[in-house]
Structure formats: structure tokens, C-alpha cells
Structure 1
Amino acid sequence: LVLRSVHGADANGELEAFVPQLAVLLALLLAVLSVGVLIYFIHHVPATLSMSNLIQRVGDTLQDRIRCLYPTEIGEGQEEPEARAAERLGTPIETLRADDRIGYLCYVDEDALLGRAGACDLVVELIRRPGEFVSRGAPLANVYGTGKLDDDVRAALIAAFVTGPERTPRQDVLFPALELVEVAVRALSPGLNDPYTAVRCVDQLHAALVSFGQRELPVARRVDEHGRLRMVAAPVDFGRFCDTVFDGLRPHVARDANCAVHLLEAVAETLPQLPREADRAVLRRHAEALRAPAIASARDDRDRGRIAHAADRSGAVGVPAPA
């Protein structure tokens, strides 16, 4: 709050007024700045909530998780610990179970598990992956070793499994993929009927399939500094990732010819970029599974022909592997 003018008395007792020029100038500058911030805010809010930007952010998160959780690209080589094993685990001495905490498994502290397993000469085999829902008493991991676990060791191992009310993408590569699937499914619902939003989600999933398929699967068997097996993880492989994406999309995409064709064409473009034949076989299987319901749901011969042509491209046998 700034006064436009200030009244006071001079040395002779007569009234006089003066203008606080610096304060008034600062107030005017702040007023102009406030208007500018308001205009930026009015522009920023709808841009932030734009569906295209939201889909792009989720897609970027998915790409980031793939790079972080699967850091080695195929052909770069991966260190293989000698004791990684053809080693048989035998019979577990105990199965760790969740305590009273109920929720989604958000994080598994692998360093803590490796440290405790090494200190107690144990092997921990994970049963649950991050992102899975854990109820009271649900099995978390099998523990192998000799003797019985004491209460302190058991509590320390269970504490390495962190649960929460919501899934997070920190160690869960399927979560951002499922978010894209969810947006696509909602967009294709009769209430919205927005196939173009679904197509944008398919584009982001297509990019993720290419990135995922060109990555090495992390070593499941983890060893300590002495090369002894201490933990067996359960990383998400390419087949599990594809099953999650395509099984979620198929019933809804099949009802829309344009989305079905777009998804099949995405598969066709992905196939030549996958170095492993097993991964290409997974994509062909999903393309074939989509073909029949999509053709059955098509409304005219032209759409049926487009779907059949795209399915032939995506399910073609003998797609050459990249050199």
C-alpha cells in the first residue's frame, strides 16, 4: 500500500504535500508484474492440463524408467558373476510375509537385502515385484540358508520391502505403461469416444516397446563382493511388458478400426528393430490375437481390409533381424 501524496507541515507550520516518487514507481512496476504473472498463469494452466502434454510427460517417465532399470543395451555386454549360478536353491528355511501394512509394493531396498543376506549367509529369492498389491500376510520372499531366522534378521529383511497407498514408477516400469493404457481405454469408452487420444497413447507405447526391446534384461541372480549368490530378483522381461500393454488395450482397441490399424502398424514398425527373435515372436502373437476381434468388429469391408493388411504386416514370418 503506497500513498499517492504525503501531507505535512514545513518549518513555518504551513501545510505542504510531496509525492513519494520511488515508492509510487515501485508500486506501478509491481502492478505490471502482477498482471504479467496472471496472464502467464492463465496460459500455463490449460497448457499443463492439455491431454497431449500429459501423455507426453507419462511417456517421458516411461522412457526414463526403462533407461534407469535396464541400463545395458543389447550388444554392449553385461558382466556375468562367476557364481551366478546354475546353483540350485533347494528348500527355503522360511517365507517372509507382509506385516500389517497393506498397499502397493513401492520399493525394494536391494542393498539392504544383499547386506543382511551376506552378513547372515542367506539367499533371498524375491516373490513380489514393485507395483504389486500386498495384503496382510502375503508372501514377499523365500529365504534359503541353514538354521532358523531370528526375529531381528526377519524384521530387517521385511523392512526392506516398502509399501504405500499408491503405485510409483521408481522401480515399477509397468506403472507408467499402465497409465498410458488407462488413458487410451478411457478415451475409447462410449462416453468419450476420443480415438485420437488413444492413438497418441499407442505412439508413446510404441516408442517404449522399441526402447525396451533393445535393452538387456538385468541379471536376476545377485552376488556379494565375494561372488556368492545372495539374492534372486524377478525383473520384468519384454514378454511381461507386452502382455501388460496389449492385454489391456486389445478388448477396447478392437472395437475401433482406426486404433486397431494404428496399433498393428506400430507392431510392424517395431519388429525389425528388435534384435531377439523371442521378442519378435511375442509381438506377432499379440498382433494375431488382435486381428480376429478387430476384423469381427469392423463395420465395412474397407475397414476389414485395412485391418487384415496391417495384421499381415505385423504378423509376417521371417522379419529379418537387424545386423
Structure 2
Amino acid sequence: MKRLLSWPIRLLKAFRQSIAYLPTLLAGAYALASLAAMLLPVSDDRLPALLTLLGLEAPENTQPLLAALLGGMISLMVFSFSMVMSVLSQAGGQFSHKLVFGLISERPHQWVLGHYLGTILFILMLLMVPDVAEGEATWRSLAIYLACAMVIHCLGLFVYFIHNASQSIQIDAVATDLHRTTLASMHALQRRQQGQEWRLLAVAPSTGHDRHPVAARRAGYLQNADLPALAELARRADGVLHLHFRFGDYVVEGLPILSLEAATAPQAAWCDEVRAALVYMEGEAITEHHVFGMTQLMEVALKALSPGINDPGTARLCLHRLTDLLHRRLAWQPCDALFDRDGHCRVTWRVEDFESLLYRLFQPILQHGRQELSIGLGVLKALKALSLFAEPEDLAILQAHADRVVETLSQAARHPLDRRFVSARLDDGLHRLRLPAALPGRQGG
């Protein structure tokens, strides 16, 4: 029963996150305005004298004008979005195809689309009801003037739309937007995990009871979960709920995704409530999982380092953004356990540690840019900056990555001029790493 009741809520959440949400609301507002223009019986004698002077003698004869406005609006909308799709497809080839839908579904683009659709709907409604009641010519004339004003407004939006779309595919704008969205997702997670009930555990607690697995009923990306609701369900079952996946993982149907550590096995209704608290979403939602923003920045860097594009400057720009995000991750570690008010652990989940995250982000960039000395030096510079904020355990991880960077630079720098250039920058700047004063001798050469 609860599953049936939660279905409309999930459908509404999916609609609010889709590209059709804002256009639908704006089109509905324009439709209400058109109904008011046609159905409200406002006679000329109720309107101010100044407005009656603006009334047309025969508003029903303006059908050719409205038809021309309608055709122009349809052409404008088709031209706008065909051009934008062409530009965004080119951007997907240069950066990453994951970014294309995000650029299309930006809020400003949805607002413009909604005004376009609403204006077309408003004019279409006026064309469908051409007859004007006697004594209400001024009210219909005002509606026709309003339709003309809407078209002029859409022409202004067209200029804004072209400008905003062209700016959104600039690499600076792409990297800045990914950085800002990822940072906002991290801050949102920090706010949610405030309180003594949210904790970071070195080892998951054990009650000594058997673990009863719960399998997934559907396949998809498990982006998030209602952890307080899961904690309450675990309290009702007098056990500990262990999640066997990381947020953002893809799970298949029938896979044991969690288990209840309790004295008795859970009932089927309880398992359905647990599954209802899990959030499935298609694709990589940065707002739900901030690590996706970091990996997308890394993928943009890899795309820039591909032989077809060969743009190391873009890769270095992404490295700068990743360095800032990793610095903030060093200062804050997400929690992996939720306790109840009595101090009992109720939910545990997996969190990617700093070592795994650093390897996932930096090693692909170093591997793809191993022949580009500026990329190796850029990665080394990022490691130097992070070492200033690292604890001893994380510092050892950074040192291991720095040793690999030095080894890669030594293999790539073959000419004496290159080796002299790189050696002068190895130990340069403030850092806490142990770096050689010059590149070691080349192996095999």
C-alpha cells in the first residue's frame, strides 16, 4: 500500500527534475491568460476611457496578423533549438557527452522554451476563437496587443538565448559550472550530516547476529537514500542496516544491496519499505552525489588530451578545479554511519576514501598526458598544494602519487633541455613532499 502511495510522489519528483517542468508551468500560465482573454465578459463600458481609445474597430479581422505571428514564433523556436542542438553536439564531441543534457536542461534554457511555447499557445487560442461579442471589442483588442508584446519579448529572449548558449559551451564556463555544482552538492551533504547522530566509523559495528540480505527489485543507478527513514526502519527491527553499495553505483535486479543485522529475519512488508527509501536516478546526478562532478571534470580533461583534440590547456584548467575540490575533501570526510537518539548504530554505508578518489581522478590524467610535460608538472603542482593540508596518513598517499609523477616525467623528458626545465620545477614552491632536486637518470636509455 505504501509503495502505491509513494509512486505519485516519485513521479512528481521525476517531473520536477525533467526538462519539461518549467516549460509546462509557463505554458499553463499562458493558457490561463488566453482563457481569461476569451471567456471573461469584460464590456467596454467597464474599462477606462484611455483603454477604449486603443480598441480596434474589428478585432475579428486581425486573424492574418495573428497567423503571421504564430508562424514566426514556430520558426523562431525551431531555428533556436536546432542551432543549440548543433552547438551542444559539437560541445559533446569536444568535452564530454555527459555534459550535453546538463547544458540543455539549464534553468535559463527552460525558461526561454516555456515563454516560446506559452506565446504560441496564447496566439493559437486567439485564432481558435475569432468571434468577438458585441461591446467587448476593447478587451479582445488588448489581448491582440498583448500577443504582439509577447512576440517582441520572445525576440529579446532569442538574443539572450543565443548569447547564453554560446557562452555555456566555453571551457571556462563548463569547468566553472561543474566546480560550482559539485561544491554546492558537497555543502548540501555537509548540512544534512550535521548532528551527533551522524558519525564516521573506522570499522562497522557488529551486534553478533546473523545478517539477512535484501535484494534489489529493479536495476538502475542508486544515487541516494533516505537515511533517517532507513534508521527508523532499522530501529523498528531492532538491528543494524548495512548498505553494500556506494551511492552512485549501478545495481542489477536481484543483487543483494543491503542486509539487516538482527536476531530475526525481516518481513516482506519491511523490505518493501526499505526499498522505497532508496533513490534511483538515470545517469550521473551531481546534485545527489558530488563525486560525479569530480569525475566529469576528469573526463573533460581526458577528452582534451585525446589525439583528436590535443588541448592540454583545458586539462590543466580542470586540474585546477579538481585541486580545489580535493582540498575541500581533505578538510571534510563524509560520514558513513547513522545512530539513533539512544546512541545505537542503525545504518552504515560505504564512502569512497581519499586514496581511492585521488587515484580515480589523477592517474587517468597522468596516464593520458604522460608525453605532455606540462600535464605531469600540473599534476605534481596539485599534489604539492594538497600536501600542505594533508594529515600524515593522507600525506603518505600524496607522496606515493608524487613519486609516480616524477617517474613519469623522467621517462617523458628525453632531451637535456626538457630535463633541465623539469628539474628546475620539481622541488619548487611550498609543499611537504620529498622530491628530488633533479630528475633521476632515464631507465633503458
TM-score bracket, shorter-length normalisation:
0.7 to 0.9
Instruction: Return the TM-score normalized by structure 2.
Output: 0.58
| 1:148 aligns with one of 265, 271, 278 | 265
- Residues 78/309 of structure 1: CA separation in 2 closer, same or farther (3 Å cut): farther
How do residues 125-136 of structure 1 correspond to structure 2 at under 5 angstroms? 125-136=242-253
CA distance in 2, matches of 1:112, 1:304: 58
The answer to whether the 8 A contact 1:92-1:142 is kept is no
Q: How does 1:202-241 map to 2 (within 5 A)?
A: 202-215=319-332, 217-241=333-357
2:393 to 268, 278, 288: 278
1:49 alignment partner in structure 2 = 169
- What SS does the corresponding residue of 2:408 show, helix, strand or coil? helix
More displaced stretch, 86-95 vs 118-127: 86-95
Instruction: Decide whether aligned partners of structure 1 residues 23 and 130 sit closer, same or farther in structure 2, where only a CA change above 3 A counts.
Output: closer
Task: Report how far residue 272 of structure 1 moved.
Answer: 1.2
1:193 paired with 2:313, answer no
Question: Does the C-alpha gap of structure 1 residues 92 and 243 become closer, same or farther in structure 2, counting only changes over 3 Å?
Answer: farther
Instruction: Return the letter of the residue paired with 1:317.
Output: R
Contact residue 388 and residue 432 of structure 2 kept, 8 A: no
Decide whether aligned partners of structure 1 residues 53 and 299 sit closer, same or farther in structure 2, where only a CA change above 3 A counts: farther
Describe the shift of the 1:222–1:23 C-alpha distance in structure 2 as closer, same or farther (beyond 3 A): closer
Structure 1's unaligned 5+ residue stretches are 8-21, 319-323
Tell me, in whole angstroms, the C-alpha distance in 1 between the residues paired with 2:242 and 2:57.
79
Q: Could you list the runs of 4 or more consecutive aligned residues of structure 1 that deviate by over 6 angstroms after TM superposition?
A: 22-32
Deviates more, 1:196-205 or 1:39-48: 39-48
Work out the number of aligned pairs and report it: 294
More displaced stretch, 130-139 vs 114-123:
130-139
Per-residue deviation, residues 148-174 of structure 1 (Å, max 9, x unmatched): 111111222233222233121234221
Structure in which a larger fraction of residues adopt helix:
2
Alpha-carbon contact 2:221-2:280 (below 8 Å) kept: yes
Q: 1:67 aligns with which of 172, 176, 187?
A: 187
Using the size of structure 1 for normalisation, the TM-score is: 0.78
Relative contact order higher in (CA < 8 Å, ≥ 6 apart): 1
What is the SS of the residue equivalent to 1:128? strand
Secondary structure at the aligned position of 2:222 is classed as: strand
Displacement of 1:208: 0.6
Cα distance in 2 for residues equivalent to 1:194 and 1:187: 5
Residues 21-32 of structure 1 aligned to structure 2 (within 5 Å): none
Partner of 1:157: 274
Partner of 2:405: 290
Q: Is the 1:131–1:172 Cα contact (8 Å) retained in structure 2?
A: yes
Distance apart, 1:308 and its partner CA: 4.5
| Identity fraction in percent | 25
Aligned to 1:94: 212
Give runs of aligned pairs for residues 240-251 of structure 1, distance below 5 A.
Answer: 240-251=356-367
Partner residue in 2 for 1:118: 235
- Once the two structures are TM-superposed, the CA of residue 241 in structure 1 deviates from its matched residue by 2.0
